Chains A and B, each alone.
Chain A
Amino acid sequence: QSALTQPPSASGSPGQSVTISCTGTSSDIGAYNSVSWYQQHPDKAPKLMIFDVTKRPSGVPNRFSGSKSGNTASLTVSGLQAEDEADYYCCSYAGSNSFWVFGGGTKLTVL
């Protein structure tokens, strides 16, 4: 069982918006503004999409946005496109003993 809880699946039609939640505890998501999200296509390396809860690395479309409230973080993908279909993993720093904890992943399907 993963340290962070994500829904196993999410879906939306092209052009729609989808939000994926990620629930942790007061020791990880609730304690640090260090939530990141990774996109992974089949047999590809995970790619950093969001860091520091809300920030996007250079080159990541602004259709991807992140937020946090209490112990729950969220990733929103707006204007869904076919290439957004992938697995998404959340990650939070959890202190010097655990370093990083991850979610179990959410498979995003573009209908």
Chain B
Amino acid sequence: EAEVAQSPRYKITEKSQAVAFWCDPISGHATLYWYRQILGQGPELLVQFQDESVVDDSQLPKDRFSAERLKGVDSTLKIQPAELGDSAMYLCASSLAGVDTEAFFGQGTRLTVV
């Protein structure tokens, strides 16, 4: 069964350091999402790609976060510098194009900033 792959699963980093997460969506899925989930809350969309183009990054803290999907396949989310408040689960998801299609989620990366 096709899955969304994310790495690493867990990451501990010190405050002010740089950190990066990687996501490989299900083959053929044009839409890719990065969500942040703070403990006890629902996922919050950080950025959404359609192929290699960003279609929504309104909630992405652009002073420290960046995301790219250069060839319209896999994607990287970077934080620099990391802050204590960035500790959360970072979830990647992908879907076929179309408003009635569901998102398929990876297992996430649990980030702890110390």
Partners in one complex: no
Residues of B bordering A, CB below 8 Å: none
